[in-house]
Structure formats: structure tokens, C-alpha cells
Structure 1
Amino acid sequence: MADRASVAIRIGGSLSPALFPALLAAIESDGAFTDWNGTAFVPDNLDQSVPLYLADHEVAWGRFEAIEAFCVDHGLVFARWAGGAPGAFGPERLVFDGTSIRSFAASDDDEIMMSAETVRGLGSYAAVLSHLAAAEFEIPPLRVNGSA
């Protein structure tokens, strides 16, 4: 049985209308909702002025596997927070900036955490600030249009 955690993801970028059904299939596959109360995603309600927000409780391994793979494959940026599963993995924020995926230790409230070892390894205050900036990558609105 998979360890499970609460998960929230914000997705942004530009997506071709032809690919929108595949994104919907990924959302359905992962069982993601538009809020913590289990409100289903309704495509006609997509607000293209903000990032797409999806969440769920009890997600296997703390990952939206289909959604995250779709985003990476099609260049949609995202930031995903997952709570921890005691004895298995701690809370994290995963950020895909369109080029690379980075994982950051986080709190149960999605605050970025750094160990003393990480701070020493970064070597300077400027490097610490750069690390935090990467973790707090701003997710643009998700736009479904012909420019993807």
C-alpha cells in the first residue's frame, strides 16, 4: 500500500486547446479537485487570469503523477506541495520552472525549510536568497490558447 499525503499544485503557462482534453484526463486520472472540499474541476470554469489550483487528500506517494508528467511534457510550469507521510517522506515543495525540476524541504504549511547543512553548502547569504527565490517561483496564469 502506498504512503499517502495531502497535495496541492498550482499550474501555469500556455496550452494549446488541442492538448486541453489530455490535461483533463490527467486531472481525472489523479483525482484532483479545485479545493480541499472535493469540488470537481469543471473545464468551463477555468479562470485564465490565475494559475490552475488543484488539491486532494490521501494522494499516493504525495504526487500527482499524471498531472506532473503532463506539465513537464508540455512545458507548463508548476509548484506542488505535499505533506509528509511519517516514516516515509517529509513535506516538500516541487517546482518545475519550464526547464528543470527542483525539490525543496517544506513545512506542513508549505513554508520552505533549510537545514544548517543546506545553508552551509550554499555558502553565502546571496546563495540562500537565490535558493529561496527558486522555491518561491511565481506561477503565471494557465492560459488555454493557440500560442502553445
Structure 2
Amino acid sequence: MTPSKIAVLASLALALSASAALASASPVGVWYTQGKQGKVRIAPCGDKLCGVIISGRGQDGKPASEARDEANPNPALRDRPILGLQILRDFKPTGPGRWGGGKIYDPNTGRTYDSKISLSGGGVLKVEGCVTVICQSQTWTQAD
């Protein structure tokens, strides 16, 4: 093999490993919410990221399949199930391992907050909800 072919193959291998590293640095997948109270699946929705509840318990302790969105400010939505409820929406990349411009809905309070998420490494996702400049964060862990 000629030195130029070796260089091309080495470059290709490096590019592929870099692509794999970037793909793995994504919040796409299933995450336990803080305290493992529930699971949220984050996936692309159009050109942004969204997340839906796929298991857990409602505020009243009922399984997500039985719990309803009772705190929703819109009375017409208070009977919708928590299971399958979209709680994250509109996240777009803002830098390596970071996504912003999104919203997070808290079905326990019926409130929606500006939000950003960031990967901390080791299967940890920092999820922040903000009102003006005051933010609260949760640590979510990658589900098996």
C-alpha cells in the first residue's frame, strides 16, 4: 500500500471515529428523571429535539398510564394522560453537548418554562428550567 493510500485510510478512520463521538454526544435516548421518578424519551422532532414521558408516576402516585394532566391551566387538557405527554420541545444545538431555546412542561404544576439541556458525561443530562434569569436544574441519568 502506498503512503498516500495509508494517509487517506487514516484520515477516513479518524473522520469516522469523530462522527461516532459526535453522535454519541447526544441526548437522544431514554433518560430517568431526577430520583428515577419517571422515564423520558428524547428524540428528534423535525430539526429540533423533543421529549415524552414513557413511564413513571403522576403526582398522585398513580402509574403514568392512569395519571392525568390535572394541573394543566387549560381545562380542556386536564384529562389527557401523563403517559406519552410531551414535556420537552423545540431544543436546538447551541454548542458541543448543549441544546437550548427549548421549553419544559411540568405536569405537576401545569407550568411551562424556558429550558436548556447539557450533557455532563458519564450518562448524565443536566436539565434546566428558567423563569427570566432564575433557573432550577435537575440531573437526569441515562436509562439502561
TM-score by length of 1: 0.30
Identify which of structures 1 and 2 has the higher relative contact order when contacts are C-alpha pairs closer than 8 Å and 6+ apart.
1
**Structure with more strand by fraction:** 2
When normalised by structure 2's length, the TM-score is: 0.30
Structure that is richer in helix per residue = 1
